[in-house]
Amino acid sequence: MNHQLVLQFQGDDETTLEKVIELEDQLIEALDGSTSVEVDGHEPGDGVIHLILLAKNPAKVWEKIEPLIEEAAAEDLEINAVAYRSLEGEDFTVLWPADYEGEFEMI
């Protein structure tokens, strides 16, 4: 795995954290057996929660997990952005939303 794929969710309250952990468990199950991605955990930030995956090809992983994320979003889990960076790099590339403005940061 040479990239960090980060899903950033709005909110850092207990309810949001529980929903992110539930989604994390679903992703672990859905990606079980894959050698190109692993779920690395979640991390609360300043008003957000990050769900972090390690991946060889973050764009392909995003295509695969996007339906699960959309389903979670339909259940009141608000996603801000999805971005990735090289494990050696600092700058993120935003995959979603396409019209994301500004610089993605893990806060």
At 9, phi and psi to the nearest 5?
-110, 140
Distance between CA 83 and CA 93 in Å, rounded? Answer: 5
Q: What is the pTM of this model?
A: 0.94
Domains and CATH numbers, the chain: 3-96 (3.30.70.600)
Burial class (CB in 10 A: 0-12, 13-18, 19+), 40: middle
pLDDT at 107: 73
pLDDT at 88: 94
Q: Walk along the chain (107 residues) in steps of 10 and give the mean pLDDT of each run.
A: 96 95 95 93 95 97 94 90 96 96 89
